[in-house]
Copies of this chain bind each other. A is one copy, B any other.
Amino acid sequence: MAAFKRIRLRPRFLRDVSKIDTRTTIQGQEINAPICISPTAFHTLAWPDGEKSTARAAQEANTCYVISSYASYTIEDIIAAAPGGFHWFQLYVQSDWDINKQMVQRLEALGFKALVITVDVPVLGNRRENKRNQLNLEANIMLKDLRFPGERKSTLPALTSLPSISFCWNDIPLLQSMTRLPIILKGILTKEDAELAVKHNIQGIIVSNHGGRQLDEVPASIDALREVVTAVKGKIEVYMDGGVRTGNDVFKALALGARCIFIGRPIIWGLTFKGEHGVKKVLDILKEEFRTCMALSGCRSVIQKSPESKEVV
């Protein structure tokens, strides 16, 4: 959030901004605004209907929702709650490739539009706050007294093992051979890895530091975005999550080359506040703030942005 605040806008005036178009596309599919939903775990901790509410809000807002491997409901239940929604799936690749294959087939059958492979959890980070809060994922969340334990049916039976610690660039072709879906890598923070992603025919990158929860003292996503965008040279789409709290932040990320941004915590806050309506409210506020920022920056359209323009510094 501090990294976003350091970026200054360079508003341009005396342009006709009577028509502002916040729409864009990601992987070829239109969304109403470049504001999508990052994968986060266990939405029933925030609201009884959990991911089903999130999915309904995303569908209503016509934006992309990346469902987490650690969803509280089965993906079938979530999709059923928002059958017209635009969904990507966040996948932790498993050591057992049969499980990966089954999962991919299941996702394709359910109409998911992309696989988001989280690359920044080969091992679990040192989550001091979890220790301080005595939050034991296995014991407390999966087995014990959630607020609405009866309703929760985890997708986890197929994903009980931790992500593969040995999954690496050499395994990418195998994954690609299993699916016709675009593959997006989530968690890239360096130009070196961004170049490797392009070289391996990856379709997109979500620049992310896992909400700051995996490894302390990495760059802010918005700072890493610059070097990743420069490295990929426009060959693939680059997205980002982390620290986006206002429409200005959305605008800044796009001005620095992101195709869209994803939000995590604000979605959970909206969900906790008022379920589906809270999530929709968060998306609406950000979209309106983003539209205002576009108007006051003299930008009529998300798509028209040219690399020469310099909306931020």
Contact = CB atoms under 8 A, between A and B. Distances in A.
Interface of A is mostly: loop
Interface in A1-15: 5, 7-15
A137 interface: no
B13 A218 contact: no
A63 B20 CA distance: 41
Contact of A296 (B125, B169, B192, B295): B125
A246 interface: yes
Given A217-B8, A296-B123, A296-B125, A14 B196 contact: yes
Interface residues of A, number: 49
A126 interface: yes
Given A13-B122, A14-B168, A17-B166, A248 B189 contact: no
Q: Kindly list the 10 A-B residue pairs having the minimum CB-CB distance in the complex, ordered from nearest.
A: A13-B119, A18-B166, A16-B166, A123-B295, A18-B165, A215-B296, A16-B168, A14-B169, A14-B168, A17-B122
A190 B12 contact: yes
A122 B293 CA distance: 11
B12 A120 contact: no
